[in-house]
Amino acid sequence: MLIDSKNVEESTTALVTEEAPDNKTRRYDRQLRLWAASGQSALESSRLLVISGTATSTSILKNLVLPGIGHFTILDPRKVTPEDSGNNFFLEGPSSIGKSRAEEAVRLLCELNDGVEGKADLRSLEEVLDNDKEWLTEFSLVIAHNLEGGLLDRLSKLLWEDESHPTLAIVRSSGFLAEFYIQYHEHTGESFICVIESHPETAQSLQIDKPFPALLRDSLALDFENMDVTDHGHIPYVYILVRVLEDWKKAHNGSPPSTYAERQEFKKLILAMRKKSDEENFEEAESQAYRAWTATTVPSEIRDLFSDPKDMKADTNKYIGLQKLYKKRAEEEKQIFKSYLTAPVDDATVDAFVKNAHALKLLRGKRWGSLDEDPKALAELVETSSKQLSTHLALSALTSLATKQQPNAPLTPTVEALTAEAQALLPAGVELPAEFGDAVGEVARAPNADLPNTAALLGGIVAQEVIKMITKQYIPIHGSCIIDLIETWTGILPV
């Protein structure tokens, strides 16, 4: 269970570590190894709004206060009920009953990290939407749990209006079932999120198939035949592959090995070059031979230019020399990249961009609610994602039933009523998926139940996605995440 050595190196070089680390660095050590100082500073500049102080809301906040977000506000006009104080770890049992839920939760959450600022706001969301909409847009991200349908609709539309408005995380749960969705910002007509450091786990292609001039030159300059045995056993496999491929192409009209038989022959050629049977570098070359016939495409080309080769059997000088070769090439490419820029961009941003160019991700989001307004899309999902869709429909049915009744009236929907609401979302003639019965039965069993374990799991999974959004590292969820804690699975409903 070791961490990827490259990740450690990358994330730790970003830390100031000439001296023994200070207390803050020591406190955050285990997370800095994942998102480095750049991610940490993004977290510390973030301002989050959480709507309502339910068990799920405080569970999410706990996992954001601990790693050190800058600020959070809980918006909640309610007083703590006996029911609240029984299932929320950030209330103090009976002694919290009757006090402001937001104030109690903020007080207890702030104990987790004195570097985080927390505030309670006792207004209702309705009041804010009516009189102080601007206030909502001052946050970097808004999280809403089990919001009433009408208010959720107003909130999600408001935050979708302008690209500068905060991202909205929508969380719904009912007993063992849950769903969450992240509404990304709007941008020039379409919404998008750009992840700068996605930490990909796929291998680099190293441009073996199209070696840049210096790499080809150095590889051809090596005298394999007359080299002494120790040096021969330490030629980095990159040089071996470039060389064997170059020879191969000369003999095959410039084409790389393409058939299975040719590829096997290519591998044999590599092994035939060994001077001793245990030369690991040639074994590495054989195992990496696919690189010779895997065409370097544009994204991986960028990847190769801006990241160093991973470790391979070699002596120090040859490896460091190879590393320098790739670094020099990267520097040259960066200058070319800069010459294309038409607007001034500071050097640090250019560096971060090119360093992670191989891992840039562009995700386009959609407005919350667009799925339920699209019966055709729902009908397709009945065929392709019936299990996930069943849970989504059952939760949507609950939201719409609740909207139809008096505010604060007890919610005790029947399976029949929920089924009718869900059916109404589908086009005429399309039947509900077979799994719908399992989902709707659970929603009818515990429509309002904010179970401690469901809340804790949502707390982790939603916080994880929020961290990815704020740090712009790793790849956030795309679509709606469905959670079933009976059979214990999660799934994505494409939106």
Closest CA to 214 of 335, 292, 322: 322
Q: How far apart are alpha carbons 195 and 295 in whole angstroms?
A: 25
Size of the site for another protein (CB under 8 A): 98
Q: Is 215 exposed, middle or buried (0-12, 13-18, 19+ CB in 10 A)?
A: buried
414 is an interface residue for another protein by CB under 8 A: no
Segment near another protein (CB under 8 A); pick from 45-53, 131-139, 193-201, 213-221:
193-201
DSSP string, 133-191: HHHHTTSSEEEEES--HHHHHHHHHHHHSSTTSPEEEEEEEETTEEEEEEEPPEETTEE
Q: How far apart are alpha carbons 335 and 347 in whole angstroms?
A: 11
Residue of 181, 184, 319, 368 that binds another protein (CB under 8 A):
319
Per-residue H/E/C for 220-285: HHCCCCCCCHHHHCCCCHHHHHHHHHHHHHHHCCCCCCCCHHHHHHHHHHHHHCCCCCCCHHHHHH
Segment near another protein (CB under 8 A); pick from 151-159, 339-347, 426-434, 458-466:
458-466
Nearer to another protein, 425 or 467 (CB): 467
Residue of 49, 51, 52, 68 that binds another protein (CB under 8 A):
68
Residue of 240, 461, 469, 470 that binds another protein (CB under 8 A):
461
Residues 160-189 touching another protein, rule: CB under 8 A, are 175-176
Residue of 38, 47, 66, 150 that binds another protein (CB under 8 A):
66
Closest CA to 402 of 413, 391, 390, 415: 413
Q: How far apart are alpha carbons 207 and 447 in whole angstroms?
A: 56
Q: How far apart are alpha carbons 91 and 220 in whole angstroms?
A: 70
Residues 69-108 touching another protein, rule: CB under 8 A, are 81-83, 85-89, 92-94, 97
Residues 358-387 touching another protein, rule: CB under 8 A, are none
Please state the closest distance from residue 405 (CB atom) to another protein, in A. 18
Residue carrying structure tokens 């006090």: 99
Nearer to another protein, 269 or 360 (CB): 360
CA distances from 28 to 15, 35, 62, 109, 476 (A): 11, 10, 15, 18, 22
Q: How far apart are alpha carbons 396 and 493 in whole angstroms?
A: 14
Residue of 397, 459, 493, 495 that binds another protein (CB under 8 A):
459
Residue of 47, 107, 112, 263 that binds another protein (CB under 8 A):
112
Nearer to another protein, 281 or 296 (CB): 281
Residues 30-59 touching another protein, rule: CB under 8 A, are 30-34, 55, 59
Residue of 45, 157, 490, 494 that binds another protein (CB under 8 A):
490
Nearer to another protein, 381 or 483 (CB): 483
Segment near another protein (CB under 8 A); pick from 152-160, 299-307, 348-356, 433-441:
433-441
